[in-house]
Chain A
Amino acid sequence: QVQLVQSGAEVKKPGASVKVSCKASGYTFSTYFIHWVRQAPGQGLEWMGIINPSGGSTDYAQKFQGRVTMTRDKSTSTVYMELSSLRSEDTAVYYCARDLGLSWLVRGWFDPWGQGTLVTVSS
């Protein structure tokens, strides 16, 4: 079955970076874009950006421009999201999710989602 499995929880100090992985299985990795979404404790969902696993192109939400980097490793069917200059407000569960849209310009709905990775930023 189609599955996205994320790396485990992380605890980081303010100013550090974190890199979260998302391993895809059950489908052709390069065929579907992957999004990253985060959810602060008790809050709603916030879109961070998207990566095309085929060519590696990315599109980031303006809020995260300059702090987020999304990459992929085609040999292991894994995408990565690295967030730098962490602050306490970055404490959240980070999700990856597969895009089911038509093209790079016509993005789609998300299915499935990874199980989530809790990133805690604390001194």
Chain B
Amino acid sequence: EIVLTQSPDTLSLSPGERATLSCRASQSLSSNYLAWYQQKPGQAPRLLIFGPSNRATGIPDRFSGSGSGTDFALTISRLEPEDFAVYYCQQYGTSPLTFGGGTKVEVK
């Protein structure tokens, strides 16, 4: 099973600041099959990024994904109030599909 380790656990930032979230895989991901999701309290996760740098439909361009092999990142260029949430990475190239433990982006 591929283990995904996200860091940091919590990121404390102010609106307008840049956020960089990390996701590291225990082995190289086939075809860089990695996605990012945003989850707000009481809501289902929402797809942000797949493949690992393609934005999903309707996702603002302040969200960007990068990386390859075992190291991936989600960057939010300028935090908006609605971006404070928990973010999960997911690998979907190898069964069982697995998720990272999540990074919480909170208001400083």
CA distance A45 to B96 in the complex (A): 13
B11 to chain A, nearest CB (A): 16
Q: Is the CB of A59 within 8 A of B95?
A: yes
Interface string of A61-89 (1 = CB under 8 A from B): 11000000000000000000000000000
Chain B interface mostly helix, strand, loop or mixed? loop
Q: Is the CB of A107 within 8 A of B97?
A: yes
Q: Give chain A interface residues in 99-117, CB to chain B under 8 Å.
A: 100-101, 106-116
CA distance A106 to B91 in the complex (A): 11
B70 to chain A, nearest CB (A): 19
Q: Is the CB of A101 within 8 A of B96?
A: no
Determine the interface band of chain B, counting residues with CB < 8 A from chain A: 20 to 34
Q: Is the CB of A109 within 8 A of B44?
A: no
CA distance A116 to B43 in the complex (A): 8
Q: Which partner residue on chain A sits nearest B36 by CB separation?
A: A109
**Interface residues of A, count at CB 8 A:** 24
Q: Using known A-B contacts A95-B44, A106-B93, determine if residue A47 contacts B50 with beta carbons closer than 8 Å.
A: no
Q: Is the CB of A115 within 8 A of B88?
A: no
Q: Is the CB of A113 within 8 A of B45?
A: yes
A44 interface residue, CB < 8 Å from B? yes
B37 to chain A, nearest CB (A): 8
Q: Is the CB of A109 within 8 A of B88?
A: no
Q: Is the CB of A110 within 8 A of B99?
A: no
Q: Using known A-B contacts A111-B47, A114-B44, A116-B44, determine if residue A44 contacts B102 with beta carbons closer than 8 Å.
A: yes
Q: Using known A-B contacts A101-B92, A108-B50, determine if residue A47 contacts B97 with beta carbons closer than 8 Å.
A: yes
CA distance A46 to B50 in the complex (A): 18
Q: Is the CB of A115 within 8 A of B90?
A: no
Closest 3 pairs (CB-CB, A-B): A109-B35, A113-B44, A109-B50
